[in-house]
Amino acid sequence: MLYDALLYKKQENKQVQCLLCAHQCKINESERGICRVRENREGRLFTHVYGNLIARNIDPIEKKPLYHFYPGSRSYSIATPGCNFRCEWCQNWQISQLPKLMALPHGQRLLPDKVVEQALASGCHSIAYTYTEPTVFFEYSFDTAKLAKAKGLSNIFVTNGFMSTEMLEMIHPYLDAANVDIKAFRDESYRKYMGGRLKPVLESCRKMKSLGIWLEITTLIVPGINDDPKELEEIARFICLDLGPETPWHVSRFYPQYKFTGTAATEENILFKTRAMAEKIGLNYTYIGNILGSENTKCKTCGNELIHRNAFLIQIRGLDRAGRCKKCGTSLDGKGIGRGI
C-alpha cells in the first residue's frame, strides 16, 4: 500500500528531492530513490513499505547489540524490506536488498497500533527497528514510536547512521537508544563497498549524542577492508573523543556472507588486539561479538564484574539497585541500569 512520505520537497517538472537520508535523492516522476522503496508519483513522494513487515521477533536487548540499555530486557523487533546502502557483506541481505534484487515483496500487514499492542502483550520493554535500515521505513517507525512512547515503551534504532539531521530532529523525542554501525573509517570504502559516505555517519553519531539518545557503536571487522590497526585506532579515537569514553564499542567477527563468501572469517586475535588498543586509548567498554565466550561488563573504576554474560543470558552480579558498583560505588554508564535487581 502506498503511503505519503515525510521529509521531501517538490522541485520543477514534478521532480522531488527526498530529505530523509544523506543521499538526498532527486527523484523524477515515476522513479524511485536509491533505497527503491520511495517513489515519486505525479510530484508526490510515497513509501511502499508502511506497515509491510518482512521480519518480526522478540529478541534479548543484547542481540541489537545494546549492553548498557535496560540489560536483560526484551525488545519487540521489526523490519520492512529495504536499505539505503548496498553493503557487499550484508548479514541480512536477503531482506535488506530485496527491493533492489526483485519486485518489492509483500510481507505481513501490521499497522503501528498493532505493533505496540503486541509488544506490550509480549512483555517487551522496547520496540527495536532493526534487521534492515529503519531510516527507509521512517514513516512507519515514526508513527509506531509515538504510540509506543505514550504507552511507556522505549524505542531503538539499529542503523547505519546515514540519515539526515532533519530526520533525527523529528524522531528524537521518541527515540531512546541506537546502535550505529561505523563500518569503516575510510570514505573510499564507504563509496566502493556500501554505496554511501563516511562523513554523514559520523555527523549522525555526534547528533544523536547531543540529543541525549543512548548510543552504542558496532564495527564488523572485515579482512582486507577495515582491519588495518591504524584505521581501527582512528575509529576508537573518534568514539572516545567525539562521543565520549562511556560509549560502548562492539567489535564483531565477520563471517563470509552475500558477495564476500570468498573472504575468510576475521581472525580472533585481531578482535582481542582491537579491544586492548581501545582500552589503552581510553574507551571504558569494548565488547567482542560473534564469537563463543562471555563478554562481561566491568566497573570502569575498580574492575569489579558488574554484568556477567553467557551469549544472550545475563546475570547482574556487581550492581546495586541504583546501578552502582557494589565494591566502589561508581555508576555504570547507560540507561535502565540496575532495573529489576
Q: What is the pLDDT of residue 99?
A: 87
Q: Count of H helices and E strands in the chain?
A: 9, 19
Mean pLDDT over 8-22 rounds to 97
- In which domain, by residue range, is 16 found? 3-47
32: β partners: 39
Tell me which DSSP letter residue 262 carries.
Answer: T
- pLDDT bin (cut points 50, 70, 90) of residue 222 is very high
Angle, helices 229-238/268-281, rounded to nearest 10 degrees: 40
94 and 23 in a single domain? The answer is no
Position 165 scores a pLDDT of 98
**Do 13 and 114 have their domain in common?**
no
Average pLDDT over residues 7-11: 97
- Nearest CA to 254 out of 201, 291, 207 is that of 291
Amino acid in position 231: E
Dump pLDDT digits (tens) for 51-102.
999 999 999 999 999 999 999 999 999 999 999 999 999 999 999 998 888 7
124 and 12 assigned to the same domain = no
Give residue 312's pLDDT.
86
- Write down the pLDDT at residue 104: 73
Q: What is the pLDDT of residue 341?
A: 52
Question: What percent of the chain clears pLDDT 90, i.e. is strictly above it?
Answer: 93
Q: What is the pLDDT of residues 236-252, one digit of tens each?
A: 999 999 999 999 999 99
Of the candidates 283, 299, 295, the one whose C-alpha atom is nearest the C-alpha of residue 331 is 299
Number of structural domains (the chain) is 2
Higher pLDDT, 338 or 124: 124
On whether residue 181 sits in a domain, the answer given is: yes
Let me know whether 125 and 217 are in one domain: yes
Given a cut of 90, whether residue 150 has pLDDT beyond it is yes
- Bridge partners, residue 17, by sequence: 9, 26
CATH of the domain at 199: 3.20.20.70
Confidence at 156, pLDDT banded by 50, 70, 90: very high
Question: Percentage of residues in the chain with pLDDT exceeding 70?
Answer: 99
Note the pLDDT tens digit of each residue in 249-296.
999 999 999 999 999 999 999 999 999 999 999 999 999 999 987 799
For 236, the 3-state DSSP assignment is helix
Same domain, 137 and 191: yes
**319 is a domain residue:** no
Cell digits of residue 81: 524490506
pLDDT at residue number 40: 98
